[in-house]
Each structure stands twice: as structure tokens, then as C-alpha cells.
Structure 1
Amino acid sequence: MSTHLVRATGEFRPMLQLALPVLAEQSLEFLVGMVDTYLAGHALPDELKTPALAAVGLMAYAMWMTFTIFASVGVGATAVVARLIGAGETEDAAIAANQALVAGACAAVIGTIALYFGADAFVAMMQLEADAAQLATSYLRIIAPSLPFLMVIAIGTACLHGAGDTVSGLGVMTIVNLINVAVSTTLAFGLGPAPNLGWTGIAVGTAVAHIVGGCLVLLLMLGGRAGMQLRLQWLRPNRTMIWRLIRIGLPSGANDALTLGCHLWYLGVINSLGTLAAAAHGLGVRCEGPSYLGAGAFAVAASTLTGQFLGAKDPARAMRATLLSLAAGASLVTAYGVFLYFGGASLTWLYLGEVEPGSENAGTAEMTVRLLKVVAFSTPFMAALSILSGALRGAGDTKFPFIITLIGLLLIRIPGVYLFALDEIPLPLIGSVPGFGYGILGAWWVMVFDVTLRSMLVAARYWHGAWRQIEV
């Protein structure tokens, strides 16, 4: 066996040990939203199905927004904890985890207040129509009190990932899903003695599940899981450590915030095309979701191993681990892309059930299938973008991915969605100019081009190799 093969095999097992539990964990997290979408398509009256799917689509972005609030701290926590663990400084790693939760708690308070009292303004800004807008607003107000617990899940598991523990998050998300399925289904259908709350029941079940999940992560850290011990003296704000976490994570957090802001802008343009387009987009994103799970799991492996190997002063192993993660993740995600192209109809049937031919629900299903054929072409590029960006984050190289995101979203996706989706493009001062008018299909082709371009730019940055010299 060659030396290179032996070395590659040495990184393959830890890569799988990190990636597979994260894949399972994120799949379970995805199932929370999947259950909401399924119940929206089966537990509500036919006339509310398409509006509810449009609302669920916006809620997926809203939940993404809540995690983005904690992105700066979470990314910084993973990188710092991994580097300290790699250097053998376990106690300092635990202190970093405690301070990450302190910083996250401040963000959670602000986010909860903003989400609850800003629900109406947010939904209006996103241009949802009548029934869909009312459903979205009520969901946001119900889910807002669970935001601090989402913070604990997001930042607590980020610390555990940095310490090399990806199994605990899997256990937590298993319980979260069991509770979500049980409570949401019971309240949405009114099973047994439970009241039939319909849409409200879906939101209540999701909130309860996340509250329980956050409590479980706290219990794990109180018990010192993977060395990430919570201690009262370490929870007193330490400005030096908090700044270290934010300094590393802030560019990535800004990257995620920019990404989210542009996606919401993009979504607002799609919602302006009508409820059917909004519902097809939301359902398409839900069907596409598993491809992000595979890419995200191997991105965590690349990020953690890069941080740990750099902490051990071994950049060669860091690069081998990343390339192995890329090969495995891209293969998995591309295979799912093939399924999206040829089997998209089966996914829409799963979420919507039988639909009456010629109805608005049938139109939503038909458009969703067409969108899935479009997005299938982007899956290998999306995998490369996610995994290589994860490796750069693990090395502390977060500025260049931010610049690349800026280029792709602000110079490609946003101008492109106006140009290719709309019949007329509103412009300040000079009025409207003609667009190509391809509707939501045009919007999704622009998305594919954006992802492809950014994946190439991130690959070039990684290959340049400056990440080897970055101090965190």
C-alpha cells in the first residue's frame, strides 16, 4: 500500500466519524420542517393548502434567520474550540464554550423581541398575500419564545462539534423530532382528547420540540460532555474570549447574514409573482433540502479536522481531510441531484398528497417538479461551495468567503432575478424597463448560475493555500 493511500486512510475514518453523525443530526433537524410541510399539505382544508405551503416556505427562511443570528458566535466557537483541543488545551476550550453561550444569550434576547414584535412588518416586507400572510404571522409569534433554546442548540452543538463530538447532537435531534412529530400531528389533527388546532398546532409542536432540545443540550454541557463543562465562574463575561470568538466568526456571520438578506430579497421578488409561485418555491426548497444536509455534514467534518490539524501544526493532513470530505460529500449530493431530476414528482406527492386536476394545488405540484429539474444541475457545485467554505472557516479564513458571497448574491442573483423573472423591472427615477419574464423558472436558473460561479471562486481561494498561515 502506498504512503499516500495510508495517509488518506488515516483521515478517512475520522472524517466519517464526524460527518455521518452530523448528517444524521441535520437530517433529523430537517425533518422538523418536513413535518410542518407535510402537515400543511394534509391537515388543512384544500383551500388553505397552497397558502399554507407559501407560508411554510417563508418560515423555512425565518428559521434560517434565527440560526444566522447566532452564526458569528457558533462559527467562532467551532474554530476556537477545535484549535484549542488540537493543541491539548482542554480547559481553555471549555471556557470558550461557556463564553460562546454568554454571547449567544445576548443575541437570543434581542432576536426574540425582534421576531415577536416585528412579525407583521417582516411578512409584509416579504410580499405574501392574504391567507398566506396571516398564517405566517401567527407562526412567527408562536415560535418566537423558543428562540433562546434554538440558540443553545445552535451554539452548544457548534462547541461539541469543535471538540469532535458529533454524536450528542444526533441524540438531541432524535428526541426533538419525536416530540415534534407527536405534538404537531396530535394538535394539527386533533387526535384523541387533544383540541384540533390546525395550523396553530403545527407551530406549537415545533416550538415545544426546540425548547426540549435546548434543555437537553444544556444538560449535556452541565455534565461536561466532550470536556465542554459548564461552570458558573466561566459564565461570567470574559471580553477577551468573547472578542476572540466574534473576531473569528464575525466575517462568517456577516457572510451568512448577507446570504440570508439576499435570499429574503430574492424570495420577496418570487412572492410578488403570486401565491402559487411562492408555494412552489417553498415546496421546491423543502424537496431540495436534503442536498444541503449532505454538503453541510461534510463541511462540518472539513471544518473540524482542518482546525484540529492546524492546531497540531499539520496542514498537509488538514488538506487531505478536506479533499476526502469533498469527494465523499460531492458524490452523495450529486446522487441526490440525479434523484431530484428523475424523481421529483414522488416528492411533491409525498408533501401534497392527491390533488384535484386543474386546481391551484395541482399547479403548485407541476411547477415544483419543473423547479427540481432545474436545481438538480447545481448540486455538485453546491457541495463544493459548502465543503470548501467549511474548510476555510475551520482554518479561520472567513473574509474571502464573505467577499465571494458578496459577488455572487449582489452582482449575480439579485440583479438576475429581476432581469429573468419579471416582465417589468422597477427602477428608481427612470421608471420600469422590460424584463425577460420567465417567472419563477428564470429565478431558479439564476440561482444555479450563482452557486456555480461561487463554487469556482471558493475552490480557487482554497487552492491558493493562504488558509495554512492564518492565526486564530
Structure 2
Amino acid sequence: MATKEEIKEILNLALPAVGEMLLYMVVWVIDTMMVGQFGGKDSVSAVGLASEIIYTFSNIFIAMGVSIGVTSYVARSIGAKDFKSAKEYASHGIFLGIIVATSISIFLFIFAENLLKIAGAYGNVLILGKIFIKISSIGILFSMVMNVLNAILRAQGNTKTPMIAASIVIFINIVLDWILIFGRFGLPALGAKGSAIATMTAQIIGFIFIILYYKRYMVLSLKFNVLFKVNKQKIIEILKLSFPASLQEAAFDISRLVSIFMIMHLGTVAFAANQITTTIESISFMPGWGFAIAATTMAGQMVGAKNYDSAKRYTRISALFAVGIMSTMSILFLTIPHLFIRAFINDSEVIAEGILCLMVASIEQPFMAIGMVYGGGLKGSGNTKTPFIISTISSWCIRLPLMYIVIYILKLGVVAVWFVTAIQWSFEGITMYIYFRKEINKLKKRKEINGI
């Protein structure tokens, strides 16, 4: 039975994380809305496809890679009261983050056009998407390093500062979007290009804020000159956790990109409807990610302290909140889908298709919440291999084969694609739950056998 103190602790961690995630999704939503109102289907498709490519790389290698490894090790070190190790893992995580982020940024800038062509972009979508990626590749460098810095803060239980940083980024982004996309105050209307410039500027300012916070409050007594004192063993340990976590995200994101390429085959209307539905659904699963962060942090700290029952309880509390919030979104998707879709675009064909997609998306919300939170709990406990295996099976053995059948053999529309994702998330949610419980029970039994 969860205590009031445990519930309060989870909410103190999760709510700022949820707020942070929602803020980032708000700016993505508003970006899509403004670009859609300015340039229609081509602009929505260009910015949507370019953003998918950029954030796929960022998520695979940083947000769900290096950051997960750093969070797990720092949280477990803090749980074990080993603050020296926490500092060492943090500094090595930042070092890795800078190296990886710089490499990704350069790669995106150089191969922007090639990536879009592989995705099936052509004509105006290709031209606009290329401009968007090249400009955004600069901002994403700062955003990825900031993500690692935020992961260290979350591992200590500080989710409020990343939320404040997100607030700053979002405020600047939205204001600059309005000015640059539509050409206010005598400036030329830049459309998709203006959206990219606004995002880049906001990300750089957010990064500066986090750096100043680290210097002002001496987080874990870190001094940035320690980044050059590299301990090979620490790097290897972080990579051992980060690599499976990266592969898990890669399994999911690359399969999602392949899915998007398949959906491009259905035409611009289907792609625009899918992109808008994905954007709306992203708002609903942000609470799931927020509570997953809380589960990762608390499971990590409790496993570090060898308090396995508490690790299980904290994760269960996180899951209950996530399921409750995301199930509420399911009801809204079923009852008022037209209000969501019409906020993005005026095209009647896209609206009709998008409404049906969003209604189907309501099925997967509670399963998605369970999968996210219990997957986060597994990673916090130091097991990143199992989530990778589960995600690989759900993405490559369930999602893609079924999607191929739906699109190319049965020749059904984009609405059927969303039934496929509902099946995928149902499998993933149930399986993550089962294997989290197995992992905690295994650790608990090991403690009993070893007597420690």
C-alpha cells in the first residue's frame, strides 16, 4: 500500500517532468498549427517529416541513450550515498553527450537532402524540409547537450529546473514563431524557415540557462574542467547501459520512420492526417513520459539503496497516475476529435481522415502509459536490455509486418495503420509490466541469497 509520502514524492518528481514534456509538445503543436495555417499541406508535411528525422536521431542517441545511462548510474549512486561516483558518472555523461551531439548535428547538416529523399520527399516538401533540417541541426546540438544536463538534475530528484528551462525555450519559440513565420513587425514572412530559426534560437537560450544554473548552484560540485579527465571504465559502464537503451529507441523510431515512409505512399492527404494525429497524440503521452521519468529516478534510487519493495511501489504509483491521465485523453479523442483536428488545418479531406485516426488512437493510450512507466522502471533498475528486446519485437515483428500488409496487400487507408499501432502498444505495455516485476523479484531474491 502506497503511503502519502510516496505519492507526494512521485508527484513532486513527475508533475514538473510532465509539465516540461507538455511544454515541449505545445511548441511542436503550435509550430505545426502556424506552419499549416501559413503554407498548407506542403509546409505541414515538410516540417513534420524534417522534425521526425531530427528528433529520431536526438532520441536514439541522447534522450533515450546517453541520458538514460547517466540517469540510472547517478540515481543509483545517490541511492547508495556514493556522491563521488555520482559526480564521476555525471561528468563522463556530459563528455559523452557533447561528443555524440556534435557528431549528430554535423551529420544532419551535411546529409539533410539525402535523408529527406530516402524518406520519399520530393518537390516543395523536399526544398522546405532541407532548409528546415539545416537550420535546426545547429539548435539541436545545444538541445541534446542540455538533455544530458537535465538528466543529471532529474537523477537527483530535481525535475523543476528542467521545466523552468522548457518554459523559457517554449516562450521564446512561440513568440519568434509568430514573428518569423507570418512576418510581423515589418519582417518578411519566412514560413517553415522562420519556424526553424525560432526553434534554433530558443534551444540555444535554454542551453545557456541550464549552464548558468549549474555554475550558480554547483550541481554535484561539478566543474566543467573535469570533463577532460576521462576515466575509460566509467565511459564503458555508461555505454553498457546507454547502448541497449539507444537500440530500444532505434528499434521504435526507425520502425516509425519506415512506417512514415509507407504512409507517404498513401499520398499527401493521408500523410498530413497522420502527422496531425501524431502531433495531437504526442500531447496525451507526455504525462506517460513524465511519470516514466519519475519511475526511472525512484526505481534507480531504491535499487541503489537495495529497497526493492519500494522500487516496485513507486513504479506502480507512477503507472496508476499515467494510466488515469492518458485514459482521460482517450475519452476526449473519442468524443471531440473534430475540435482537435480542425485547430491544425482547414483542408476538409485531411480533417475527415484525421478524425477517424484520432478516434482509433484512443485505444492505445492506457497501454502506452503502462509500457512507458514500467519500461522506465526497468531502466532505472539497471536493466536496459529487456526494454530493447520488447521494443524490437513490438516494432519489427508486429508493427512493420502488419503495416505492410495493411498498406500494400490489403490496400487499406491510414486509419487502418492506427489499428496496427494499437495492437503494438497493447503488446508492449503488458510485456513491460510482466518483465519489470520479474526483474525486481530477481534482485530481491539475489539480496536474500547473498544476505546483503
Please list the CA deviations of residues 411-444 of structure 1 after superposition, one character each: whole Å capped at 9, or x if unmatched: 111111110122xxxxxxxxxxxx1111211211
> Residue 414 of structure 1 aligns to which amino acid in structure 2?
L
Match of 1:393 in 2: 379
CA contact (8 A) 1:152 1:217 kept: no
Please list the CA deviations of residues 318-343 of structure 1 after superposition, one character each: whole Å capped at 9, or x if unmatched: 11111111111100011011111111
Q: Distance in 1 between matches of 2:223 and 2:257?
A: 36
Once the 2 structures are TM-superposed, how far is the Cα of residue 274 of structure 1 from its aligned partner?
A: 1.0
Q: Which moved more, 1:335-344 or 1:122-131?
A: 122-131
SS in 2 for 1:223: helix
Please list the CA deviations of residues 81-135 of structure 1 after superposition, one character each: whole Å capped at 9, or x if unmatched: 1011111122321222121111011111211111011111111111134222222
Gaps of 5+ in 1: 356-360, 423-434
Match for residue 170 of structure 1 among 163, 167, 178? 163
CA contact (8 A) 1:128 1:275 kept: no
Q: Distance in 1 between matches of 2:237 and 2:437?
A: 26
What does 1:178-193 align with in structure 2 at a 5 Å threshold?
178-193=171-186
Match of 1:83 in 2: 76
Q: Distance in 1 between matches of 2:402 and 2:390?
A: 17
> Residue 55 of structure 2 aligns to which amino acid in structure 1?
W
Q: Distance in 2 between matches of 1:113 and 1:134?
A: 19
CA contact (8 A) 2:59 2:65 kept: no
CA change 1:317–1:302 in 2 (3 A) is same
> Residue 59 of structure 1 aligns to which amino acid in structure 2?
A
> Residue 378 of structure 1 aligns to which amino acid in structure 2?
E
CA change 1:175–1:34 in 2 (3 A) is same
Q: Give me the TM-score of the superposition, normalised by structure 2.
A: 0.94
CA contact (8 A) 1:165 1:226 kept: no
Once the 2 structures are TM-superposed, how far is the Cα of residue 288 of structure 1 from its aligned partner?
A: 0.7
Match of 1:418 in 2: 404
Match of 1:441 in 2: 415
Match for residue 373 of structure 1 among 339, 346, 359? 359
Q: Distance in 2 between matches of 1:152 and 1:220?
A: 14
Match for residue 36 of structure 2 among 41, 45, 59? 41
Match of 2:450 in 1: none
SS in 2 for 1:396: coil
Match of 1:463 in 2: 437
What does 1:158-307 align with in structure 2 at a 5 Å threshold?
158-224=151-217, 226-227=219-220, 229-307=222-300
RMSD of aligned residue pairs (Cα, Å): 1.6
Once the 2 structures are TM-superposed, how far is the Cα of residue 301 of structure 1 from its aligned partner?
A: 0.7
Once the 2 structures are TM-superposed, how far is the Cα of residue 234 of structure 1 from its aligned partner?
A: 4.3
> Residue 448 of structure 1 aligns to which amino acid in structure 2?
A
Q: Distance in 2 between matches of 1:131 and 1:227?
A: 49
Match for residue 312 of structure 1 among 305, 308, 315? 305
> Residue 282 of structure 2 aligns to which amino acid in structure 1?
G
CA contact (8 A) 1:395 1:467 kept: no
Q: Which moved more, 1:454-463 or 1:72-81?
A: 454-463
Q: Distance in 2 between matches of 1:172 and 1:309?
A: 27
Q: Distance in 1 between matches of 2:12 and 2:442?
A: 24
Once the 2 structures are TM-superposed, how far is the Cα of residue 226 of structure 1 from its aligned partner?
A: 4.7
Match of 1:18 in 2: 13
Match of 1:59 in 2: 50
CA contact (8 A) 2:50 2:116 kept: no
> Residue 34 of structure 2 aligns to which amino acid in structure 1?
L
Please list the CA deviations of residues 340-383 of structure 1 after superposition, one character each: whole Å capped at 9, or x if unmatched: 1111111112222xx3xxxxx21111111110001101100000
Identity %: 25
Match of 2:325 in 1: 332
Q: Distance in 2 between matches of 1:236 and 1:148?
A: 22
Q: Give me the TM-score of the superposition, normalised by structure 1.
A: 0.91
Q: Distance in 2 between matches of 1:9 and 1:206?
A: 40
Once the 2 structures are TM-superposed, how far is the Cα of residue 194 of structure 1 from its aligned partner?
A: 2.6
Match for residue 74 of structure 1 among 58, 67, 75? 67
Once the 2 structures are TM-superposed, how far is the Cα of residue 275 of structure 1 from its aligned partner?
A: 1.1
Gaps of 5+ in 2: 447-452
CA contact (8 A) 2:27 2:170 kept: yes
CA change 1:31–1:468 in 2 (3 A) is farther
Decide which structure has greater helix share: 2
Match of 1:432 in 2: none
Once the 2 structures are TM-superposed, how far is the Cα of residue 276 of structure 1 from its aligned partner?
A: 1.1
> Residue 23 of structure 2 aligns to which amino acid in structure 1?
L
- Report the count of equivalent residues: 443
Residue 30 in structure 1 maps to residue 48 in structure 2? no
Match for residue 124 of structure 2 among 131, 135, 155? 131
> Residue 393 of structure 1 aligns to which amino acid in structure 2?
K
Once the 2 structures are TM-superposed, how far is the Cα of residue 8 of structure 1 from its aligned partner?
A: 2.8
SS in 1 for 2:411: coil
SS in 2 for 1:195: coil
CA contact (8 A) 1:163 1:226 kept: no
Q: Distance in 2 between matches of 1:396 and 1:299?
A: 14
SS in 2 for 1:465: helix
